[in-house]
Structure 1
Amino acid sequence: MIYVTITAVLLMFIFLLRLAWIKKEMRRLSVQVERFHQGLSGKKVDIALLDKDIEELAGNINQLIDLAVQSNRDRIRSDRELRQAIANMSHDLRTPLTAIIGYTKLLEVSSVTDEKRQEYMSIIRATADRLHTLLHEFFELSLVQSTEYHLKLEPVQINALLWDVLTGFYDQFIENQIVPDLQITDEPLIADVDQSAVERVFENLISNVIRHTTGNVAISLKENEGNILLIIRNQADNLSEQDIDKLFDRFYTADRSRSSRRTGLGLSIAYSLMLKMNGRLTARLQDGCLEMRCEWKRS
């Protein structure tokens, strides 16, 4: 009887001792979490008591800390990108507005000849058209990147669509003395896409090539391991690997000397549309050439 009592007392003592350790460990965890919450520590929590349940709790807390740290990094990056986007947008809008205001004031000068007046009016109209394009692209990008924006995916023959878009750029190719090397397969390549979105992607990529190529242009369309692969390749002596990493960022313009003529939005719009169609748009720099690659899953 005495032996049983001693055993019970000993077990009770061990239980109370372990309970005290657990409570102490819980207080340690609580203090560590509170320090992290107040920004006094950026470290993960650690435990001194070997207990399966407490180890699992600490692991879950550390996962939440990882998520909080990543969320904070994403917020800081988003804030930085937003500030940069606002600055770029302000610059892109202010430039044509300043030109329009300036030439409007010149029209008010009584000594301006009719010839000069016509020239100023022509410049104002062209600048206003550019401003209209900027505003349209700003709106289009915000629309495309919204979660509520959905595309209607249906079977489309990519070959025929590409030929139609290229035909529309014939005059611009001639004007810029560009003779593209076209390698477009005759095999019908069909993918579930939104036709108008694909047209927009083609137009943005080809427009970018015409504006900025410094040499030859090659456009190919073929099947590649069950995918439809479009490759647009052009000479780009003025680009660097740093430019390639940011090419699809909103408002990024690699060629700053032409920043008054483009917003950097076209490639970002094309990139967002490709994502909406479950496709991929990538870029790489190879041997002084910019290579854009569009991929869709073949139907």
Structure 2
Amino acid sequence: MIYAVIALVLLVLILLLRLVLIKKELRSLSYQMERFHQGLTGKKIDISLLDKDLEDLAGNINQLIDLTVQSNRNRIRNDRELRQAIANMSHDLRTPLTSIRGYIQLLEVNNASVEKRQKYISIAHTTTKRLHSLLDDFFELSTVQSNDYHLKFEPLQLNSLLWEIMASFYDRFNERQLEPKFHVTDEVVIIHADESAVKRVLENIISNVVKHATGEVSICLKKLSGKIVLVVSNEAGNLNDHDIGRLFDRFYTADQSRSGRRSGLGLSIAHSLMLKMNGRLTAELNDGYLEMKCEWNQ
């Protein structure tokens, strides 16, 4: 009987000791969490007591810490991008507005000839159209990136759609003395996507090529590994890897002067639309050539 009592007492003592150690470990966890919340440390939670439940608890807490740290990084990056976006937007709106105001002031000069007045009106009109187009891009980008923006998916023949878009850019290619080389499969290429969105993507990519290409332009449409792939490439000796990494960022443009240029919204809109259609739009620099690649699943 005495041995049973001793065994029971030892068991109670062991349980009490373990309870004390667990409470000590919980206080340590609480202290570590408090320091983390106060911003006094960025360390993850650690424990000294070998206990599966406590280890699971610490692991779950550490996952939350990882999510919190990543969320803070994203918030800081988004805040920085927002400030930069506002600065860029302000610049891009101010430039045409200043120009329009300047020509209106010139029109107010009484000794301006009829010929000069017509010239000023024409320039102000052109600048107003550019400003209107810029505002449309701002609105379209905010709409496309909204969760309420929905697309209508239907079978589309990408071959004919591509030729239609290229025909609309014929005069602009001629003006830049560019002769694109086509490598388009004769096989009918069908994708399931929104026709308006696909047209917008192609127009924005081709428009970017027409604006910035200085030499050879290549357009390739093919089926590859279960995907439909469209690759548009052009010489781009003025770009570097940093530019390529930010090519689809809102308001980014490789032209740092930005004088008289529009914000880099077109490619950002195209990138967002491709994501909405469960596709991909990527860019890379190969031997001085910018290659933009659109991919759709078959």
Give TM-score scaled by structure 1 length. Answer: 0.98
Aligned-residue offset at 1:260: 2.2
* 1:108-131 CA-partner distances (Å, limit 9, x unpaired): 111111111011101100000000
Match of 1:41 in 2: 41
1:45-96 Cα offsets, whole Å, 9 max, x none, are 1101111111111111101100000000000011011101000000000000
* Amino acid of the structure 1 residue aligned with 2:31: V
- Quick check: 1:166 aligned with 2:163? no
Amino acid at match of 2:201: V
Residue 244 of structure 1 corresponds to 244
Question: Secondary structure, in 3 states, of the residue corresponding to 1:155?
Answer: strand
Shift of 1:259: 4.8
Structure 2 unmatched ranges of 5 or more: none
SS at match of 2:50: coil
Q: Quick check: 1:276 aligned with 2:276?
A: yes
Cross-structure match for 2:15: 15
Which position in structure 2 is the counterpart of 1:189? Answer: 189
Partner of 1:297: 297
SS in 1 for 2:146: coil
Instruction: Specify the code of the residue in structure 2 equivalent to 1:195.
Output: E
* Cα drift, residue 262 of structure 1: 2.1
CA RMSD of aligned residues (A): 0.9
Identity of aligned residues (%): 66
1:102 match: 102
Give the conservation status (yes or no) of the 8 Å contact 1:253–1:259: no
Kindly provide the amino acid, as one letter, of the partner of residue 52 in structure 1: K
> Contact (CA 8 Å) 1:279, 1:297: kept in 2 or not?
yes
Q: Deviations over 1:8-44 (max 9, x none)?
A: 1111111111100000000000000011011111100
Q: Which ranges of 4 or more aligned residues in structure 1 deviate by more than 4 Å?
A: none
What are the residue-to-residue correspondences of 1:18-167 with 2, within 5 Å? 18-167=18-167
Matches of 1:180 and 1:2, distance apart in 2: 99
Q: Unaligned 5+ residue runs, structure 1?
A: none
Residues 248-276 of structure 1, C-alpha deviations (whole Å, 9 max, x = no match)? 00000012355523210000000000000
CA distance in 1, matches of 2:252, 2:258: 12
Q: C-alpha distance in 1, partners of 2:248/2:3?
A: 79
Partner of 2:213: 213
Deviations along 1:254-299, whole A, 9 cap, x unmatched?
123555232100000000000001111011111111111111112x
SS at match of 1:97: helix
Deviation at 1:150, TM superposition (A): 1.1
Structure 1 CA distance for aligned equivalents of residues 175 and 168 of structure 2:
13
Aligned length: 298
Cα distance in structure 1, aligned partners of 2:257 and 2:164: 32
- For 1:76 and 1:115, locate their aligned partners in 2 and report how far apart those are by CA, in whole Å: 53
Q: Residue 284 of structure 2 aligns to a residue in which SS?
A: strand
Worse-matched range after superposition: 4-13 or 253-262: 253-262
Q: Which amino acid in structure 2 is aligned with residue 289 of structure 1?
A: Y
In the alignment, the residues of structure 2 paired with residue 69 and residue 122 of structure 1 have an alpha-carbon distance, to the nearest angstrom, of: 54
Q: In structure 2, what is the Cα distance between the partners aligned to 1:12 and 1:185?
A: 81
- Mapped partners of 2:15, 2:89: distance in 1: 67
In 2: Cα distance, 1:225 partner to 1:259 partner: 43
* Equivalence for 2:260: 260
